[in-house]
A and B are shown apart, each in its own frame.
Chain A
Amino acid sequence: MSIIFMLTGVSLLLAIGFLGAFLWAIRNGQYEDDYTPSVRMLFEDSKKEKKSNENKNQKQ
């Protein structure tokens, strides 16, 4: 049964790790803006960028 003492301690440490991650995320401003990233991830511009880069290269 004494293993439970250890496991409890370990699980608590793990949980403290998650708490730390949460606090870090807040301090880092991850919850400041909960709308823009949802729009940003849908932007698709890699193709056009490539094209324009190619054009520039050709000009040079």
Chain B
Amino acid sequence: MGIKKEVLKNLLKRPSTSKYPGKEIDPEDRFRGKITFDKKECIGCGLCRAFCPAECITLTWRKKKFVVRGVEHQKIIHPIHKIDIGKCIRCGLCVDVCPVDCIWFTSKFELADKDKKKLISKM
């Protein structure tokens, strides 16, 4: 008799699924969504690229001027250029290892696209 009572009760209840693309979903605070970075803050240490298991971070090079005791020098650093969102496994190693916190998680998870080239994000 238990299952018949359950079924008759559920015929009168509201459904527990929601019509997803119409209704928006709010992920929690700790949700690991898409990765974004801030190019200006990046000091070019290269740790994120060394630790990424999926090898999806690409670095570029930039000349940086700095002054030591009144004399101007120039050095070349390698900040982040782009991240391949299609390869990223969202493990969070780059977020943990970055010394200046210029990479972080967002809550965006609807990342599918028909074109592979659009999955490489430069910001």
Q: Do A and B bind each other?
A: no
